[in-house]
Chains A and B, each alone.
Chain A
């Protein structure tokens, strides 16, 4: 029987609840490979995601080389070009960003930040990773299959995705892609249920929901969304697989392909788009919300100031998560759906701008009157603010239905979504790696290399995607293997394409420096100690670093205050850990 105190501020006796029995590994295999420890699973997820992400990076170089120097690299023919853009997009969105934020950061941070020993279902958690790995392998198999991977674009719109005019459409490519997505969703569901249940059931005593760090709020909300949104993609993938393999017609109307009447009939291509974007739009926030949460904590720790408007930040995350389920058709303004939908979806889409803007204000107001340490994580957080504000604002162009009409399917869209869900979340990922690497390894990443990595990545990425909007404004359509002679491709635009490609190669090269830093610092990095950033949250209060299986040694921490007691007036230090008792009730919590 757990004795629940009448007030969360009452002093709570040390935990007297018996620990849940953990499966302690007995061999090298169960410690490092088939591990049930969320931290090991997190590292497995992260390394796999980063590895496949590097493939996507190389693919982006290849497509940029084609756009800047059409015809020079003869091995990049039209088929390959479309395969490259498709695999690049799908890998980045699903297999890198989703997997890294939820499988990687989620697994590492949820138990540690909440004061839990592990995820609630460690075995399912382990399975989640292995199914994810299988999904990645099936995806990669596309490169080696006859006909190569699918070149349908990452949106996989039927009917072209399953017809012979598209690379992989009548070969193995599309089958492997859909199978891989189905596997990914199965694996994710096992992990996702774990994250949700752990947040709801596994928190340390005193860790009320409104004391959770925003990182956890972001990951938690994103996971709930993913559990609701991925089934739409699952269904769409299964149906398309049936259309392709069994000859059903879920998405296939009567079609004459190259002069031949196909056997299909009666299906709806637009139905696929609705299902895809019912998943696809929440997916944007599945990536963005963990980034929002993490960056809030990075800014707060490194500006030595509580996050401004914590409660508003929590509600903004929840409201954005909910609203993002009723905006999906803003991806379909020119799809041919009933145009009256435009009124509704433009309105809901622009309403989301309000809670999102509030989050931005609260980040910059956290900097205001702070004590800003320009550490590498803080630099990446600043880079996030700039790129996210930029990409968020161009979303107001594309969300406003009539403005979207000329800009849709142009390079403006490519520039927008790369800025807002490519560059901005990746800024946060890097910031988070620099921030938590010391906890994971016990050593600091090298500061100088980090600074160089930041500036080249941030400025380079900005120089890639900011000018790209103007190619779209000019009218250059996206997904063109070569634009050739056209009113929307004057010589100056071609020069700009060369510049963008050079920047892309530079930014890519900077990532090599980052990988080197990560490997080098593993042995040679400065010793980090347990809490190098002097942060309040529980993961920094573990008795040993890196934390062992079970995280907190003999006794679980007990939480007495919110996650943001930085620079509290009268306190001896400029931070007070969450597990430090507060006998006089001085923690202002939310200043109510």
Chain B
């Protein structure tokens, strides 16, 4: 009997915990409400299956536990039952996978009007680069990194000269405009992770990765690193501020461009 009660309790208490626990995701600040919705669908389907299976086991133990004189039923197979269970499972799986793939299609395809914002990770610091007046990021290369040019921006690419460089500071984003986060690392793996944005992606040295979001809520958000990057991993924090357009422009005007940064460090620029 104790076994039956404890099994039933595990099922019921798990559901109650889910409904009553104070630990739930942070209020969303991007367009990825779809992701949250898909998680909700998945919770419903999997929660139902979990409770059904555990309660069924509890019932079996209650009803069929050994008593003197009992004998088990002898039934090696039941094709019909197995077929129906497999079919129902397939339907449940499709109900989770289909919306998931639909949302993934949106996740993969960046809107054409998205602005590029570069995030550069290094042990253990976040840096950012925004396109300047020409709306384009210049090319960059890990090999070009020096003390004066910490992001390795290509000095010979005129598109990069007006890029705005923020080393170790806050990143601001305007609300309501899609941004493509272009991700680079100069040493090890990192992962640009803002819990409220839901989206995240690893940053891999030697390649450029990306994801896109549209910020939907102004506020200040914490950036965490979500890929183990050495002992400083927990200290690798940053800040993203989502502004309204006016505040964003004000902030933008105060940032230095690549040209200004190089001039300040005394190194002559070489692009023609």
B-contacting residues of A (Cβ < 8 Å)? 78-79, 82, 151-153, 157, 159-160, 163, 165-167, 169, 253-259, 261, 265-270, 303-306, 308-312, 334-336, 339-340, 342-343, 346-347, 350-351, 353-354, 357-358, 360-362, 364-365, 367-374, 379, 382, 385-386, 389-390, 393-394, 396-397, 400-403, 405-410, 455, 459, 462, 466-467, 470-471, 473-475, 477, 479-484, 486-488, 490, 492-493, 496, 564, 566-569, 574, 588-591
Contacts and interface: CB of A to CB of B under 8 A. Distances in A.
A79 B187 CA distance: 19
6 contacts: A255-B187, A265-B143, A340-B108, A364-B53, A409-B200, A475-B195
Contact of B66 (A372, A479, A568, A590): A372
Most buried by A among B49, B66, B228: B228
Interface stretch (B99-107, B126-134, B155-163, B243-251): B99-107
The size class of the interface chain B forms with chain A is: 35 or more
Contacts of A474: 23-26, 195
A364 B24 CA distance: 32
Given A163-B188, A402-B34, A309 B82 contact: yes
B89 A358 contact: yes
B153 to A, nearest CB: 13
Contact of A160 (B38, B206, B228): B228
Interface of B: 3, 6-7, 10, 14, 17, 21-26, 32, 34-35, 38-39, 42, 45-46, 49-50, 53-54, 56-57, 60-61, 64-66, 70-78, 81-82, 85-86, 89-90, 93, 96-97, 100-101, 103-105, 107-108, 122-123, 141-143, 145, 147, 152, 183, 186-189, 191, 193, 195-196, 198-207, 209, 221-222, 224-234
Contact of A336 (B49, B75, B143, B202): B202
A264 B6 CA distance: 57
B183 A336 contact: yes
Most buried by B among A394, A409, A474, A475: A475
A221 to B, nearest CB: 20
Nearest to A569: B74
At the interface, is chain B mostly helix, strand, loop or mixed? Answer: mixed
A336 B121 CA distance: 14
A266 B206 CA distance: 8
Contacts of A167: 231
A370 B222 contact: no
B71 A400 contact: no
B107 A339 contact: yes
A256 B186 contact: yes
Contacts of A358: 82, 85-86, 89
Nearest to B25: A473
Given A306-B74, A351-B93, 12 more contacts: A160-B228, A163-B187, A254-B205, A334-B201, A362-B82, A371-B71, A403-B42, A403-B100, A466-B17, A474-B23, A479-B228, A481-B233
Contacts of B193: 409, 477
A466 B26 contact: no
Contacts of A459: 6, 10
Contact of A253 (B89, B105, B142, B191): B142
Contacts of B228: 82, 152-153, 157, 160, 479
B89 A354 contact: yes
Contacts of A165: 123, 187-188, 229-232
B235 to A, nearest CB: 9
A334 B25 contact: no
Contacts of B81: 365
B46 A386 contact: no
A490 B158 CA distance: 47
B107 A566 contact: no
A82 B231 CA distance: 7
A379 B147 CA distance: 63
Contact of B17 (A265, A401, A410, A467): A467
Nearest to B189: A157
B66 A305 contact: no
B145 A480 contact: no
A317 to B, nearest CB: 15
Nearest to B224: A477
Contact of B75 (A269, A308, A361): A308
B35 A405 contact: yes
A255 B205 contact: yes
A467 to B, nearest CB: 7
Contacts of A335: 202, 204
B111 to A, nearest CB: 15
Contacts of B187: 159-160, 163, 165, 255-258
Contact of A488 (B3, B152, B195, B200): B195
Contact of B3 (A306, A340, A382, A393): A382
A534 to B, nearest CB: 12
Contact of B234 (A78, A166, A400, A588): A78
Contacts of A566: 72, 74
A346 B71 contact: no
B101 A346 contact: yes
Contacts of A410: 226
A521 B177 CA distance: 70
B189 A473 contact: no
B263 to A, nearest CB: 21
A566 to B, nearest CB: 6
Contacts of B226: 334, 408-410, 477
B46 A310 contact: no
Given A254-B143, A405-B200, A488-B224, A567 B74 contact: yes
A389 B53 contact: yes
Nearest to B186: A256
Given A163-B188, A346-B101, A474-B23, A308 B76 contact: yes
A335 B96 CA distance: 23
A82 B234 CA distance: 11
Given A269-B206, A336-B203, A342-B108, A487 B195 contact: yes
Given A166-B230, A373-B66, A159 B224 contact: no
Given A304-B72, A389-B50, A471 B23 contact: yes
A169 to B, nearest CB: 8
A402 B103 contact: yes
Contacts of B61: 367, 372, 374, 382
A406 B35 contact: yes
Nearest to A352: B93
A357 B222 contact: no
Given A261-B145, A346-B97, A386-B10, A361 B85 contact: yes
B52 to A, nearest CB: 10
Contacts of A496: 23
B76 A257 contact: no
Nearest 9 CB-CB pairs, A to B? A253-B206, A165-B230, A475-B195, A336-B209, A369-B73, A160-B188, A393-B46, A470-B23, A305-B72
B24 A312 contact: no
B96 A473 contact: no
B77 A308 contact: yes
B142 A357 contact: no
Nearest to B204: A336
B21 A470 contact: yes
A260 to B, nearest CB: 10
A243 B98 CA distance: 42
Contacts of B145: 256, 261
